Amino acid sequence: MSGAESPSPQSLRIDKWLWHARFFKTRSLAAKQVSEGKIRVNATKISKPARTIGPGDVLTFPQANAIRVVRVVALGERRGPAPEAQALYEDLSPPEDQPRQAPLARVGARPTKKERRRLINSRSEPLD
């Protein structure tokens, strides 16, 4: 190997970048999302996985049950660990509209079988 390192590229395919940044588990899943037209680059819908992106581009795409908006900060050389992947972008996603509901806290002891039957029977009685 020579001592000179290759300069980092100025642009990278969007499917490869989404995979490097760990938004999708496989590169083919990222390419599928792009092909289906579910990803926007700088507010423009794209449908070709070979579309190149660079630092400063803003990507909008669905992930799980949320819409993600991220700004590309760096391109990356490989699909590395999560902290390395998180350094590739700045998250611009709006905060969730609805706060997550905390699990219901148990109040008191568990009802006895007799109390459960009484509760079930009170629910099934017709209201006049």
Q: Digits of tens for pLDDT over the chain (128 positions)?
A: 444 544 456 889 999 999 999 999 999 999 999 999 999 999 999 999 999 999 999 999 998 888 899 999 999 899 999 999 999 999 998 776 545 555 656 677 888 999 889 888 888 766 65
**Residue whose entry in the numeric block shows the structure tokens 């020579």:** 2
- Overall number of domains in the chain: 1
Position 103 in a domain? no
Given this model, what pLDDT does residue 57 score? 95
Beta strand pairing call for 44-46 and 39-41: antiparallel
- The reported pTM is 0.68
Given this model, what pLDDT does residue 32 score? 95
Distance, CA of 60 to CA of 117 (rounded, Å): 52
Q: Which domain holds residue 70?
A: 12-95
Instruction: Please report, for the domain that includes residue 50, its CATH number.
Output: 3.10.290.10
Position 60 in a domain? yes
- Residue 98: exposed, middle, or buried by beta-carbon count in 10 A (0-12, 13-18, 19+)? exposed
Beta partners for residue 13, in sequence order: 52
Distance, CA of 51 to CA of 92 (rounded, Å): 21
